[in-house]
Structure 1
């Protein structure tokens, strides 16, 4: 039993999630013979898997404070690995975007803008910085205060980026509003946790 559970903890959890995301992305692309439409399906899939993993990591501390139980303790204990799994998902997302740009430059140009480059570039900058400082040695090098600031600001920026990225599609595709619900729930949970624990000032990045 303990050996089975260990696959859902720590680095094994990260490896299992990353491998699953890679295999699923390859399978999705193969459904369209690895052509442009298949690549675009991978972009959509990884945007949604990234949303799920981000919400799990970003809500971990608040969930553990508000409802301490086996699930939330697991979530809090593994928030680093959920966050790194989110980074892995978004790395696959970035690779798919690059492949899309290479395969169909005209459609890629239509789907993007200078604002999206800047907005997305900042987001990826935060993801890289937060991933690098998820390791104890790197976190110690920059200091606890800088680490906390980076992960807090980065977390809220990524939350906002998800809200904009999914929200802007709602007028054309109303069902996209469903993707905003987990984001709003996560933010509400964090606000409630902060209100109940004012001495903690802000809920940690996880």
Structure 2
């Protein structure tokens, strides 16, 4: 999809062709190269944790915590990209919008690593896993993963054309807000145990306010006519 279509679908995670003249660094930071770079960094991070801590319960739990944070960060980038462009139009904002799909799919990759660590942790230490989780949490998390899977699988141009603009936009708008709400819930419920979780909840609420306030591009100011 082109950059022009990005304005028609503000909830999308869209990629446009790489700008010319940027050299190898620009190519590595746009589109699919950016997605693969982010994914590689996620996998290297997970492997580094396992190497340092061990292929055991502690190592898997460290990956779960780390990918929860990387997923939040990548999600927030895609969540506010259009609002950033509407409020601060410029090269960086255009780059964010141009790479929303890369960040969105990297978020899905981060959460796939997160899920993998959860599964391995559960199989390694079943008793500890259930002492830290609940049936309700697993059901809610499973629903969230279905939504994330729908968002990721419908972030490709052929699927967008098959769904049609209206249905695709409705799906992604619902999905983004569902994931936002899920992040708020999962972090807020942990605040009584650790005040650190106030930070992600604050970031999520701030991102919501910023997105809603800047849902439309800023109107250019019209200078008053010069007096004769």
TM-score interval for Structure 1 and Structure 2 normalised by the shorter chain: over 0.9
Q: Whose helix proportion is higher, 1 or 2? A: 1
Alignment match of 2:164 (pick from 133, 143, 147): 143
Which position in structure 2 is the counterpart of 1:79?
100
Cα deviation digits, residues 2-59 of structure 1 (max 9, x gap): 2111100000000000000001011112222111001000000000000000000011
Number of the residue aligned with 2:47: 26
Aligned residues: 197
Whichever of the two has the greater Rg, that structure is 2
Q: Which of structure 1's runs of 4+ aligned residues deviate more than 6 A?
A: none
Aligned partners of 2:83 and 2:216 also within 8 Å: no
TM-score (norm 2): 0.83
Deviation at 1:194, TM superposition (A): 3.2
Match of 2:58 in 1: 37
**CA distance in 1: counterparts of 2:30 and 2:215, whole angstroms:** 27
Q: 2:208 aligns with which of 158, 180, 187?
A: 187
Change over 3 Å in CA distance of 1:195–1:139 after alignment to 2: closer
Q: Kindly indicate whether residue 68 of structure 2 is the aligned counterpart of residue 68 of structure 1.
A: no
Matched residues in 2 for 1:117 and 1:167: separation? 17
For residues 140-198 of structure 1, what are the alpha-carbon distances to aligned partners after superposition, in whole Å with 9 as ceiling and x for unaligned? 1111111111110110010011111111111110122111222112101111013777x
5+ residue gaps, structure 1, are 198-206
- 1:75 and 1:52 map into 2 onto residues whose CA distance is 13
Q: Report the CA distance between 1:86 and its aligned residue.
A: 0.2
Q: Which residue of 2 aligns with 1:201?
A: none
